A and B are shown apart, each in its own frame.
Chain A
């Protein structure tokens, strides 16, 4: 195994590490496509980095950086040869696994008799390139929701089984990131087929240290021009990941302070999760809920961008004759009235009740339900809230009164 060569015959085994030149990323895409995968890559669209179908690496956001804060997201173009130095965008794996709209049943009346069918087509195998550690933890949470226990979502299960993930170790963290507080990052630790750590920039020869997470990852990689990674490359990659983790941990050194700092720099997020379940459940009548309800628009953006939120509603669609009907499951949100509608009316009548439902479920009762927090610290709900409401500040305000 010590041989460092230009070509590699035979597959890589799980746990092995390869060196892949930057331009070989396209070979990886082609290897996946030859195996029948639909390939989804990051690209710039409408002023943000989103996931989109791509046949090659032509539209990768090379040198593009993002800046995010409560309610704002801006891109800038640098002349660096960096492939993945932006952080998370508005889309997540949820857009591909828990579909925004999905037919679940259709029916047709022929000669007075109803015939019903559920969609059975096997999903197209899907490869997503560029996901982060927080995203993989969010996926693991959605797996619990849809696959564990008595009721398994068969369509989700089929899509999930056909998913190939090329993950990336972050080299930057944003002001809105707090994966370190949630124990979900920044270092990749689970859930990927292949994990890339990008090394180098303009100054030195760039490439990726590729860690093999699964056998199918190793098989695909064997079709890509690579060589075994050297000890020096591996330790450089590890050091880079460790440094970012340390940078994030150092945010914890200051006092938990919800007040804006004197500088113009955005607040560097963190969340004190100590006793958080009881903290929230013991403060259901805290005045902070009214304070946030003054600002909250009940627009539902936070829940829809959250990679773990799983609420849906069912729409019944019929043609005018009533001979053809369709049932579709769509993303829903605890910020809508219909979400808490029961036969006696809407249970959560105001924004205070809806925001509280969201946050208390996400950070407290989720733990009772799934043995894990519902938050992975990706910061999407902070960035994509049109008025910049920040859950870490709301929790800090409630906690502040307790100490």
Chain B
């Protein structure tokens, strides 16, 4: 085994809260195993030593919200053999994509004393809107088991095996009672991708908030028609869809349709 060169991992941050990188640090015991299996070459939040690229695997957290980041993601792409986006910000634009429906300049004037110093874009967009992405890891934040699985698969040159089906599949495997059917609560589970770990919110008697973005074949129009017939009003549904993944195409289009 000694002859095999360890793969180099880099972690890059764009507009985000750092929560997904923290999920990696949160791996604790597995982190040591991870450090044995791959070389953590660039990960500012974990290590002051910075090794230059190219990198075998680049994990990208965060969305594109400034002209500077828009240019930087091109450089990052060039340095990484495999580029994996991690979390709702990187894969769809994140919670900050709510600005896509707001007046950007008005926000700037309201928040900053000297808005002239701020150089930001009017939109928050996914990494894949700017460069080619090899693999997406969904979630707000990502699930640490999925993260480890993806990193270890790439470290060994394997294809990761992550679900793309609905949250309902996990919900039923857990034996959880459906909140939509038994309580008439508007749950996004049927249109959301599984992966949070056993349908996290429904197991705590709450509706799914769509943290993992749209499932492989989402039909949000049918789901909202159903919830509307159960007296859930459109504004409530729009708020549900415009959450962590407001800019994911299936959620974005349905939210726009409902707010008409």
Chain A residues close to B by CB (< 8 Å): 45-48, 50, 71-74, 90-91, 95, 100-101, 294-301, 304-305, 315-316, 318-322, 330-333, 335-338, 350-351, 383-384, 386-388
0 or 1 for each of B139-182: is its CB under 8 Å from A? (1 = yes): 00000000010011000100001011110110011111111111
> Contacts A297-B190, A304-B169, A388-B226 hold; do A91 and B180 have CB atoms under 8 A apart?
no
Residues of A near B163 (CB, < 8 A) are: 336, 338
> Contacts A100-B173, A300-B168, A350-B217 hold; do A319 and B33 have CB atoms under 8 A apart?
yes
> Contacts A320-B148, A337-B216 hold; do A47 and B223 have CB atoms under 8 A apart?
no
B98 CB–A CB distance under 8 Å: no
Minimal Cβ-Cβ distance residue in B for A298: B217
Residues of A near B34 (CB, < 8 A) are: 320
- The complex places the Cα of A95 from the Cα of B176 at a distance, in Å, of 12
CB <8 Å contact, B152 and A300: no
CB <8 Å contact, B165 and A337: yes
Residues of B near A333 (CB, < 8 A) are: 165, 169
User: Counting chain A CB atoms within 10 Å of each CB, which of B33, B37, B165, B189 scores highest?
Assistant: B165
- Smallest CB separation, B102 vs chain A (Å): 30
Residues of B near A335 (CB, < 8 A) are: 165
Residues of B near A338 (CB, < 8 A) are: 163-165
- The complex places the Cα of A268 from the Cα of B174 at a distance, in Å, of 31
0 or 1 for each of B88-112: is its CB under 8 Å from A? (1 = yes): 0000000000000000000000000
CB <8 Å contact, A294 and B222: yes
B30 CB–A CB distance under 8 Å: yes
- The complex places the Cα of A337 from the Cα of B165 at a distance, in Å, of 7
- The complex places the Cα of A95 from the Cα of B173 at a distance, in Å, of 8
CB <8 Å contact, A384 and B178: yes
- Smallest CB separation, B224 vs chain A (Å): 10
CB <8 Å contact, A91 and B175: yes
> Contacts A300-B169, A321-B36, A338-B164 hold; do A95 and B175 have CB atoms under 8 A apart?
yes
User: Counting chain B CB atoms within 10 Å of each CB, which of A46, A294, A383 scores highest?
Assistant: A46
Q: What are 23 inter-chain pairs, A to B, with CB distance below 8 A?
A: A46-B179, A46-B182, A71-B226, A72-B184, A100-B172, A100-B175, A101-B173, A297-B191, A298-B215, A299-B189, A299-B190, A301-B190, A305-B172, A316-B161, A321-B33, A331-B172, A335-B165, A336-B169, A337-B217, A350-B217, A351-B219, A386-B226, A387-B226
Minimal Cβ-Cβ distance residue in B for A66: B182
Residues of B near A315 (CB, < 8 A) are: 161
Minimal Cβ-Cβ distance residue in A for B180: A386
